[in-house]
Structure 1
Amino acid sequence: MSGEALSESRDALAVLLVEDNSGDATLVEHHLRRGSFPGVPDEQAITHVESLDAALDAVTSSTFDLVLLDLGLPESTGVETLEQFLPEASDVPVVVLTGLDNKETAVRAIQQGAQDYLPKGDLGPDVLMRSMRYAIERHKQERALREQTEQLQFFNSILRHDVGNGMEVIRHNAQLLDEDLSGPAADRAATIRSWSDDIIDLTEKIRRMLEAVARDGEVELAPVDLTAVVRDRTEHVGTMDEAATIETSLPDDPVHVLANDMLGAVIGNLLSNAIEHNDSAEPRVTVDVTAGEETVTVAIADNGPGIPDSAKESIFGWGETDGSSEGGFGLYFVATMVDSYGGTVEVRDNDPEGAVFHITLPAV
């Protein structure tokens, strides 16, 4: 079995040394026992094998924290050795050892998946231990990134199949009701269809964002007309509650910020929260957009119960709530997206009651 990331509490570091030269192997073991580096146990449990076949048998039957792999073995030479070994040892970091100080080979080894490349002529106790420590930490981060990517792909699949298909069913039935009904009942059916369309569109946008993040870890940004987004979202969210009032104060000219097509979901989320969690008989929400030379600020204020001072900083964390809502994903989503835009979001007290969410975004 391949190894897991190094545990700080481990008494000994489990190392697989793959080296067919007995003299080199003795020297490496000597360096291991003499070297020290923060975070690396002083003791090592060294398993020494002299061939690629033996190394493959070892990683499939035992657990290791790290592998020191010589590229020149009886069965193969150079990067080919690494290519044959890595598929069987994807869960353990590998540091390549070689008698050749060849930069091209070093680059190819790293590209194939090795964590480091050490010419034997440069080996010393501290150099070896430092390389091993960094290799273990890099491998740990890579594994965490792979797991995160798999989670993104899983959520993307849920959005595509479960959420997407479910909303299509709701939309279709709302459309049938709209055709059969009249008066206020027809208006309500039309509202259901409108919200269904919005959720289907939002689901597709989130899917595209998840695909982009899973692919290259970055969110693509471009100029977005903030004033148009605010107008669209206030009109849409206004259908949530007939007693609610949403007023906007927008610049006369369009204001563009650096964002993406998820900005509407960010604004819509804050507007929805301001109405949904408002205990006032007549919920009121105001949206003020102020444009500066370098930044644009959106202030969304309500006359609801407000947010306690003790929760103002933590409310944007995963699973946190403002005490009146049941889930904390919405504000976590807002904070995550605003941060990806290079902006900031904070909540303050409204006067005389309620809360104000301030979003600051880079102007374009």
Structure 2
Amino acid sequence: MTPRPDPDDAGDGTEEDVLRVLLVEDNPGDATLVEHHLRQGSVFDVADEVTLTHVETVEAATDRLGDGEFDLVLLDLGLPGSTGIDTLDRLPEAAEDLPVVVLTGLDDHGTAVEAIQRGAQDYLPKDDLDTDRLMRSIRYAVERHKQAMRLRRQNHQLELFNSVLRHDVQNGMDVIHKHGTVLSERLSGDERDHAETIVSWSDDMIDLTRKVQGMLSAVTDDARDGSRVDIAEPLREQVDRVAAMEGVTVEASIPEGVTVEADRMLSAVFGNVLTNAVEHNDSDDPEVTVDVVERDGTVHVRVADNGPGIPAGLRESVFGRGVQADPDGGGFGLYFVATMVEGYGGEVTVEDNDPRGTVFDIALPAAQEAWSRTS
């Protein structure tokens, strides 16, 4: 919306918000009805004033939108030369930064859903159009669009932060690790211990940096690029690592050829859940069981332990940022797990193990070529 000087004000610089609407409608009667509703309705919670410009074709809309003069588009899907979703697709790039409310003479739910998926903010059948419904749709469209723009700006900022981590911080930590390693090989005694401490801490920081990069990518990516991962290798790698810990018994059933929609950070996801199952296990003989099953196009990686369990009231909160599953534990690992799994289009849940302990169920979308087995 564009602020402009208030003509009724005595030149004191007071401004009012004007919502400038472009109506793309080839039916004069429908255009008159929309204009009537706009005159009758109230947009004071969105703007001080609404103005309407009417054109009859996508070509005319393209010419007007290029001037950057509008804040919202009301678009009829049935226009000369285009019908249905094709009309929405023909809007110029200038409309990508504007909220679009689709108007149509067809009460077609499928078209409505597709229009929203293509970027429209709302869908209004003309036969059901009235003043309240139109004004409510405009208000919601404007607010949703504002939120979308805020999220887009935040994503750009996160992408910049991710780039800094990937290039500057990661490269710097690699240099520190390299020189620390050289020193640890050449020194002895206390000096060697100091150098090895540098190497150890740089390893931890490199690992943390990669996890943060993975979470930032999960947050900022609108859609995954279709990367497919056979879970056998990363899951077996993490199982072997945990099984090497002293006093821990691990039983794992990991089939070959189980492919999911994920990326290279999936190994760290498995590693965090498995490590959590061991580090918070108070049993004299810690046991961890890993199973993989597929149901209805979803691959479930289930990690069960015989530890103290997690109370039902805390199972959702343990995935929160900075939340601790117990007084001695850290919450970053599980927050990382939840963020990454959600970024893959999956879900991680917690349930009781029988007779004691916890089961973490990592549900991931199976790739199209994934296996067809049932539990």
Pair in the same fold by TM > 0.5: yes
In 1, Cα distance between equivalents of 2:208 and 2:271:
11
Evaluate the alpha carbon distance shift between residue 291 and residue 115 of structure 1 in structure 2; reply closer, same or farther with a 3 A threshold: closer
Q: Find the residue that maps to 2:270 and give its secondary structure.
A: helix
| Structure 1, gaps ≥5 residues long | 4-12, 20-24, 49-67
What does residue 94 of structure 2 align with? 112
- Asked if the contact 2:20/2:72 (under 8 Å) is kept, the reply is no
1:227 to 219, 227, 232: 232
Evaluate the alpha carbon distance shift between residue 33 and residue 78 of structure 1 in structure 2; reply closer, same or farther with a 3 A threshold: closer
- Measured after TM superposition, the shift of residue 325 of structure 1 is 5.5
- Measured after TM superposition, the shift of residue 146 of structure 1 is 0.8
- Paired residue type of 1:116: V
Evaluate the alpha carbon distance shift between residue 285 and residue 172 of structure 1 in structure 2; reply closer, same or farther with a 3 A threshold: farther
User: Would you say how many aligned residue pairs link Structure 1 and Structure 2?
Assistant: 310
What does residue 254 of structure 1 align with? 256
2:170 to 164, 167, 184: 164
In 1, Cα distance between equivalents of 2:175 and 2:363:
38
- Measured after TM superposition, the shift of residue 267 of structure 1 is 0.4
In 2, Cα distance between equivalents of 1:178 and 1:135:
61
- Measured after TM superposition, the shift of residue 266 of structure 1 is 0.6
Q: Find the residue that maps to 1:348 and give its secondary structure.
A: strand
Residue deviations 1:180-229, cap 9 Å, x none?
Answer: 3689x9999889869966974785687478568746x1123444332321
- Asked if the contact 1:106/1:117 (under 8 Å) is kept, the reply is no
Residue deviations 1:287-317, cap 9 Å, x none?
Answer: 4224457655433334544322210133224
- Measured after TM superposition, the shift of residue 269 of structure 1 is 1.1
The RMSD of aligned alpha carbons is 4.9
In 1, Cα distance between equivalents of 2:251 and 2:188:
32
In 1, Cα distance between equivalents of 2:336 and 2:209:
14
1:21-36 superposed matches below 5 A: 31-35=37-41
Evaluate the alpha carbon distance shift between residue 182 and residue 44 of structure 1 in structure 2; reply closer, same or farther with a 3 A threshold: closer
What does residue 286 of structure 1 align with? 288
- Paired residue type of 1:225: D
Residue deviations 1:15-72, cap 9 Å, x none?
Answer: 44589xxxxx999775324247xxx668973266xxxxxxxxxxxxxxxxxxx44569
Evaluate the alpha carbon distance shift between residue 275 and residue 162 of structure 1 in structure 2; reply closer, same or farther with a 3 A threshold: farther
2:28 is aligned with 1:46? no
Q: Find the residue that maps to 2:301 and give its secondary structure.
A: strand
Q: Find the residue that maps to 1:135 and give its secondary structure.
A: helix
- Measured after TM superposition, the shift of residue 318 of structure 1 is 4.2
What does residue 68 of structure 2 align with? 85
TM-score (norm 1): 0.62
- Paired residue type of 2:68: F
- Measured after TM superposition, the shift of residue 268 of structure 1 is 0.9
In 1, Cα distance between equivalents of 2:301 and 2:75:
56
1:306 to 306, 309, 318: 309
- Asked if the contact 1:296/1:360 (under 8 Å) is kept, the reply is yes
Evaluate the alpha carbon distance shift between residue 260 and residue 156 of structure 1 in structure 2; reply closer, same or farther with a 3 A threshold: same
2:73 to 86, 95, 106: 95
2:123 is aligned with 1:145? no
- Asked if the contact 2:242/2:248 (under 8 Å) is kept, the reply is no
| Structure 2, gaps ≥5 residues long | 4-15, 23-30, 104-125
Q: Find the residue that maps to 2:250 and give its secondary structure.
A: strand
Q: Percent same amino acid among aligned pairs? A: 45
